[in-house]
């Protein structure tokens, strides 16, 4: 038997795959020479390898990719009927009730990637490169599609719960301290489930679903109130990534759960905050040497050494200042910097006074630059997604020489995928985003 992809696509030959052997019936080696059965096989194989990563996608209201319908897809939602609280009058037919339907349209975008295989690789490799490449591309496609859907949900969702509700913003979330940390707990989950129940949000197969990152799953299982969930359904009914159930919420674990990573302020180190040495309470007479600052210049002196590149990135950005003695946080904007003297100039005077040891950090994540983890607790029809099985994901093979004069001596073949993706939030009340810190940081072991 000939080796691998594309050079072996001749009538009646067998292709060895991880699933066994499959007959290939083709007439030539053009770009369209794969038989319909073979195209279907590899398309299914691509989807099979993509589906384990489609954690967010599996809970969306699915719509097929529109055929000849432009670049938009329409999702529909029917509103709950009001109570029929008025008693019937004998002999009088009451007025009928109309269904109220709302539609949400979302734009469709394409994503894709491919692997190029050389003729030498195809002639000399032992493994079946069609199968191996499709396996890798399937995983890539699944993770790409799922992260695109996730980001739409995160950016569009308006119901946010910070920890157990003890703080009012992402910037106040604490992690990695000896006490007072805002980690994911059983109470966090119960509060989110209560919010869904209070809005009469329909459940998904009898339960709400929480999509959680492994880091926060670890924190949740360390909660004294957590009890190891018992088996509660047939394994065939488990969702992709499902790990358990508690409080009427089924938990699905995914490394694609959203992490809002704090910006690093010093590129040469892993530090996500700067340490304050002192603060000039009066207007500073020093001149800004880097950055075009405007307005009154109030100066923070910092202990850290900033390169010119790091300093320039700070200009015009917002910082969080943390007063350790009072445990307060406030946002300031950087007008300019003086790297020689270690000054950061602020556009306006901060409310608090700052002393040596207080911190300044990026204003995009948790307290002291802690990463923020997003746990989604969802009910039925919270959002809509494109159905990849309905045409949203395509497997594409271009054989040796299929590029014509672009590949005159048959040296290059490609295997790729292309996906049409669309997602949108349909019911804000059916979606709660819990933001917490974690005992871990993203990228840590």
- pLDDT value of residue 193: 95
Per-chain mean pLDDT for the chain: 78
- pLDDT value of residue 5: 34
Q: Burial code of 102-140, b = ≥16 C-beta within 10 A, e = fewer? A: eebebebeebbeebebebeebeeeeebbbbbbbbebbeb
- pLDDT value of residue 87: 85
Q: Strand 359-362 vs strand 273-279: parallel, antiparallel, or unpaired?
A: antiparallel
Structural element, H or E, at residue 190:
helix 186-198
Residue 171 confidence (pLDDT) above 80 = yes
The better pLDDT of the pair 132, 50 is held by: 132
Q: Give 89's pLDDT tier (boundaries 50, 70, 90).
A: confident
Mean pLDDT of 353-379: 90
pTM over 0.75, yes/no: yes
Q: Give 32's pLDDT tier (boundaries 50, 70, 90).
A: very low
d(CA 440, CA 443): 9
The better pLDDT of the pair 1, 300 is held by: 300
Q: Give 26's pLDDT tier (boundaries 50, 70, 90).
A: very low
d(CA 5, CA 145): 26
Identify the residue whose tokens are 């301290």: 177
- pLDDT value of residue 289: 42
- pLDDT value of residue 208: 95
Residue 50 confidence (pLDDT) above 70 = yes
Q: Give 28's pLDDT tier (boundaries 50, 70, 90).
A: very low
The better pLDDT of the pair 280, 376 is held by: 376
- pLDDT value of residue 10: 30
Non-local (6+) Cβ contacts of 269 within 8 A are none
d(CA 114, CA 272): 36
d(CA 394, CA 39): 10
Residue 279 confidence (pLDDT) above 50 = yes
Residue 444 confidence (pLDDT) above 60 = no
Q: Give 324's pLDDT tier (boundaries 50, 70, 90).
A: confident
């Amino acid at each position: 038997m000939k080796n691998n992809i594309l050079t072996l696509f001749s009538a009646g030959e067998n292709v060895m795959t991880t699933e066994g052997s499959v007959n290939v019936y083709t007439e030539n080696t053009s770009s369209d020479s794969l038989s319909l059965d073979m195209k279907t096989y590899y398309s299914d194989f691509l989807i099979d390898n993509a589906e384990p990563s489609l954690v967010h996608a599996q809970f969306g209201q699915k719509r097929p990719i529109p055929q000849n319908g432009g670049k938009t897809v329409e999702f529909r939602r029917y509103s709950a009927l009001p109570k029929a609280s008025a008693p019937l009058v004998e002999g009088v037919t009451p007025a009928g009730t109309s269904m109220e339907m709302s539609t949400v349209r979302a734009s469709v975008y394409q994503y894709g990637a491919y692997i190029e295989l050389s003729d030498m690789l195809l002639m000399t490799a032992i493994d079946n490169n069609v199968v191996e490449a499709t396996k890798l591309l399937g995983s890539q496609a699944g993770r790409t599609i799922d992260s695109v859907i996730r980001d739409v949900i995160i950016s569009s969702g308006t119901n946010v719960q910070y920890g157990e509700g003890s703080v009012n913003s992402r910037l106040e979330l604490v992690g990695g301290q000896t006490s007072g940390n805002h980690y994911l707990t059983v109470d966090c989950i119960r509060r989110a489930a209560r919010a869904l129940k209070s809005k009469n949000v329909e459940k998904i197969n009898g339960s709400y679903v929480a999509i959680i990152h492994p880091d926060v799953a670890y924190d949740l299982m360390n909660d004294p109130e957590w009890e190891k969930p018992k088996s509660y359904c047939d394994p065939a009914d488990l969702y992709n990534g499902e790990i358990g159930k508690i409080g009427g919420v089924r938990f699905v674990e995914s490394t694609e759960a959203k992490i809002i990573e704090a910006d690093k302020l010093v590129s040469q180190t892993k530090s996500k905050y700067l340490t304050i040495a002192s603060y000039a309470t009066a207007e500073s007479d020093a001149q800004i040497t880097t950055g075009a600052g405007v307005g009154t210049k109030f100066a923070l002196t910092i202990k850290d050494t900033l390169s010119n590149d790091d300093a320039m990135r700070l200009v015009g950005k917002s910082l969080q200042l943390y007063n350790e003695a009072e445990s307060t946080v406030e946002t300031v904007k950087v007008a300019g910097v003086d790297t020689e003297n270690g000054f950061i100039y602020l556009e306006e005077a901060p409310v608090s006074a700052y002393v040596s040891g207080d911190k300044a950090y990026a204003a995009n994540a948790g307290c002291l630059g802690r990463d923020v983890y997003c746990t989604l607790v969802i009910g039925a029809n919270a959002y809509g997604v494109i159905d990849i099985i309905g045409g949203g994901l395509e497997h594409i093979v271009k054989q040796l020489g299929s590029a014509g004069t672009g590949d005159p001596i048959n040296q290059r073949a490609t295997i790729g995928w292309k996906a049409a993706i669309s997602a949108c939030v349909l019911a804000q009340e059916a979606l709660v985003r819990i933001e917490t810190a974690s005992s871990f940081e993203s990228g840590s072991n």
